[in-house]
Structure 1
Amino acid sequence: MKKWLIGMGIVLLFATGCTPVYERTDEVTQETTEESDGESAIIPGFTKDEGEYRVVLNENSPKTSASRGVTTNQMNNRVDISEFENGLKRHSKEYFPTDEYFFQLGQYLDSETLYEWLGRSTGEDGKGLNPELDEESATEKEFRNSPRYISNIVEQNYLVRNDDDSVEIKGITIGIALRSEYNFTVDGKEKTENHTTKELKKKGKQYASTILKRLRKSEDIPDVPVTFALYEEETNASSVSGNFIAKAYTEDDTIGKFKSIDENYVLFPSTEATENHFDDSQIFSEFRTSISDYFPDFVGVIGKGFYVNGELNKVKMDIPVEFNSQAEIDGFTQYVHSLVKEMFPQHYGIEVRINSLNRQESLIVREKGEETPYVYIYD
């Protein structure tokens, strides 16, 4: 059940276990191999946001990735996992527009292949992309000279719909995750080797070139345009994710010039925010103070800002509060809504999640360029 309440300049949505409604679905045929007639597939008529990809499903269930489970096993930081996969779709939009292409999880590079590629090289015939090294007997110097740069590879497929209601793959995106921090053990002692962004870009471009050659040689993988995106992981203990650092697009057997990507996630409050984004940090600080003045059980606000080309694009904030009644939740949510509307500039998006001990109580969202936020209160 959904109920919209409009008044006092605030839009409230009360939700009780409701889920999105699919307005329509299209049944199509997905081409699989040249010999087969294809298999039935479904394209839902719903996406959670405009400008997002519609996902191709098979007749019975969503298609799972051929490499399902690799990402969670290879990347240690949960926030890196989310940003790596979602950000890959974001960067694919430049080459595979959402109004022309449909999205599908990668179907060609399976888990066995990716684990082999992510391992260490074992000689001339070895498929491992990381440098050759006998880790059982290696010294600290040898580990530092031959680190495991590449941690993960993600494949995404982009399909188009034909006049005969079939869909076929017309693009592939390959994400390459690279370690900014390489941890290893020598004589029972933990060691760390740090990598610069410049170093990771150089290595990532080499990996992309090797992967493209393998894709083009494979008889099972369609000869379609490929986008490569290089991702720099954050450290394991980081509260914010890493970021993409470069991307390239090719329709050929070689990759041309990579485009640098200037993206960065910043934690509020933090020293980095104060030193590099002082004005934004001040607004956030004033916002926290206004909340603490109003609510005695307030314990803090944690914010994560997403910067593109040095400009703040979106801020997500979590406010943990201990409530004693539904009336407190409603009143506090309306107060925070008014602060968001009054204090934060409109040139970036805002998302505020208000949480009690066991659940999320409400959500405030103001899209970039909009004046009035939407408020969702969960009943």
Structure 2
Amino acid sequence: MKAKFWARCKLVAAGLFTVAATGCSFLPSGQERVVEPSTPSLSPVIEVSEDYYGSIMPYKPNQTRGMLLENKFRIDFSHLELGMMEFARDTFPTSSFFFQEGQYIKKEQVRAWIAEEKAGEQTGQRKSGLLVHVLEHDYLNKDTQQLAGMALGLSLSPVYKDATGQDKRYTVEELQERGKQLAAKMVQSVRSNELQVPILIMLYQVPEMNSSLVPGNFIMSGTVNANESAISKWQPIDEEFFLFPSPEVGKKYPQQSLQYDKFMRESQTFFRDFIGMTGVGRFMGGNLTELTITATAEYDSRTEVLQFTQFAANNINQLFDKNVHVNLYVQAMNKPLAIYIRPVKGEPYMHIYR
């Protein structure tokens, strides 16, 4: 799987969905304005370097929008959404399908699933539920513009309280098994509504409560064939995120940790002013596939920003393997100053904000 989440966020807004502007007319006094019913139409296709889904208009928001405000867990929603779409491309290729936010699973259904799972937990030894949220994505046939596939993302919390009130934690294997049991019940519920399309199931482990930088990670995917109510195949996903620098990444991935430490040290030596630097690395199957670096300092001029970005870009190309997608964001007090993107395929891109 290609890993390019952090560089995508702005492109997704431009490349995936476009907003139709509504024309205005001035009517004589006393006349009512007649509103014509909206009809679906194709959104313009914008050529971008990555493989995005097109969509149809008018745009329809997800039926569960706003539910994240109701729960106490932190969900890195951008990674959840973009990750589901990334994995979905193998099942629902962008050449044959349009994307649409979930239109069939309502808030009431998700609340019922969460309450049912939590009630089941409380009758046993564990006193808190693991199901946090369920996100639906729909995929439409390009020819008919009808529903032809669905993806369900189950957000799961590995932390729970046992019968004595002590905090405990599921292992990844335990979370996978419990997630599979939950998914089986949900698929039967979806099938009861006569939605007989193929379904992709994604199990997503929510991020740690005390971490604001590292997102959650996907731990398993399952597929349900059309007109079937059982998940035919489960596939574990070995995805990890680590903060750079940190003792955790230094212990598990010492080579990548040393490379990052050298990059940070040389960058801070090149300029006399202190440069705060943090990185988030995505590992798939034990391999670093994406690294996002944020460099923060009070720069005196745009020429200094330019010189630093060029210097950092050169170090990135020397220190990090070409199979790693690297995003560098240069900023001052949350004000963006420059970006440098080095994709695995294609040419690098640098931009200085004016």
- Which residue does 1:148 correspond to in 2? 129
Is the CA contact 2:207–2:216 (under 8 Å) kept in the aligned structure 1? yes
Aligned: 1:131 with 2:119: yes
Of residues 222, 226, 234, the one that matches 2:207 is: 234
Which whole-Å CA distance do the structure 1 matches of 2:79 and 2:206 have between them? 10
2:105 partner letter: L
Which whole-Å CA distance do the structure 2 matches of 1:367 and 1:235 have between them? 28
What is the CA-CA distance between 1:212 and the residue it aligns to? 0.6
Percentage of matched positions with identical amino acids: 25
Deviations 1:222-273 (A, max 9, x none): 3101111111122211231121111111111111231111111111111121
Cα distance change, pair 20–133 in 1 and its aligned pair in 2 (3 A): closer
Which whole-Å CA distance do the structure 2 matches of 1:269 and 1:246 have between them? 27
Which whole-Å CA distance do the structure 2 matches of 1:272 and 1:317 have between them? 17
Of residues 145, 168, 174, the one that matches 1:199 is: 174
Q: Which has the higher contact order (CA 8 A, sep 6+)?
A: 1
Aligned: 1:161 with 2:142: yes
Structure 1 alignment gaps of length 5 or more: 1-18, 27-36, 120-127, 135-141
What is the CA-CA distance between 1:38 and the residue it aligns to? 9.8
Of residues 177, 187, 190, the one that matches 1:215 is: 190
Which whole-Å CA distance do the structure 2 matches of 1:105 and 1:21 have between them? 15
Is the CA contact 2:126–2:162 (under 8 Å) kept in the aligned structure 1? no
Aligned: 1:45 with 2:42: no
Deviations 1:85-143 (A, max 9, x none): 22111111111111111111000011122112112xxxxxxxx2333477xxxxxxx78
Of residues 32, 55, 61, the one that matches 1:64 is: 61
What is the CA-CA distance between 1:185 and the residue it aligns to? 12
TM-score by length of 1: 0.78
Corresponding pairs, count? 323
Of residues 321, 326, 331, the one that matches 2:297 is: 321
- Which residue does 1:364 correspond to in 2? 340
Deviations 1:308-330 (A, max 9, x none): 11111110010001111222212
Which whole-Å CA distance do the structure 1 matches of 2:242 and 2:310 have between them? 27
Is the CA contact 1:47–1:53 (under 8 Å) kept in the aligned structure 2? no
Is the CA contact 2:126–2:163 (under 8 Å) kept in the aligned structure 1? no
- Which residue does 1:86 correspond to in 2? 82
1:214 partner letter: S
Aligned: 1:268 with 2:244: yes
1:44 partner letter: P
Which whole-Å CA distance do the structure 1 matches of 2:80 and 2:344 have between them? 22
Is the CA contact 2:15–2:47 (under 8 Å) kept in the aligned structure 1? no
Cα distance change, pair 241–201 in 1 and its aligned pair in 2 (3 A): same
Which whole-Å CA distance do the structure 2 matches of 1:278 and 1:177 have between them? 30
- Which residue does 1:247 correspond to in 2? 221
Matches within 5 A, 1:296-335: 296-335=272-311
Which whole-Å CA distance do the structure 1 matches of 2:204 and 2:15 have between them? 34
Aligned: 1:180 with 2:176: no
What secondary structure is seen at the aligned counterpart in 1 of 2:276?
Answer: coil
- Which residue does 2:257 correspond to in 1? 281
Which whole-Å CA distance do the structure 1 matches of 2:297 and 2:57 have between them? 40
Which whole-Å CA distance do the structure 2 matches of 1:375 and 1:133 have between them? 51
Which whole-Å CA distance do the structure 1 matches of 2:291 and 2:125 have between them? 37
TM-score by length of 2: 0.83
What secondary structure is seen at the aligned counterpart in 1 of 2:104?
Answer: coil
Of residues 62, 70, 73, the one that matches 2:70 is: 73
- Tell me which protein shows more strand as a share of its residues: 1
Deviations 1:17-36 (A, max 9, x none): xx9599x999xxxxxxxxxx
Deviations 1:315-368 (A, max 9, x none): 001000111122221222222122222222211110000011141100000001
What secondary structure is seen at the aligned counterpart in 2 of 1:118?
Answer: helix
What secondary structure is seen at the aligned counterpart in 1 of 2:40?
Answer: strand
Aligned: 1:170 with 2:145: no
Structure 2 alignment gaps of length 5 or more: 1-12, 21-36
- Which residue does 2:7 correspond to in 1? none
Root-mean-square deviation over aligned CA pairs: 2.8
Is the CA contact 1:248–1:256 (under 8 Å) kept in the aligned structure 2? yes
Is the CA contact 2:126–2:160 (under 8 Å) kept in the aligned structure 1? no
2:82 partner letter: N
Aligned: 1:113 with 2:109: yes
- Tell me which protein shows more helix as a share of its residues: 2
Cα distance change, pair 76–280 in 1 and its aligned pair in 2 (3 A): same
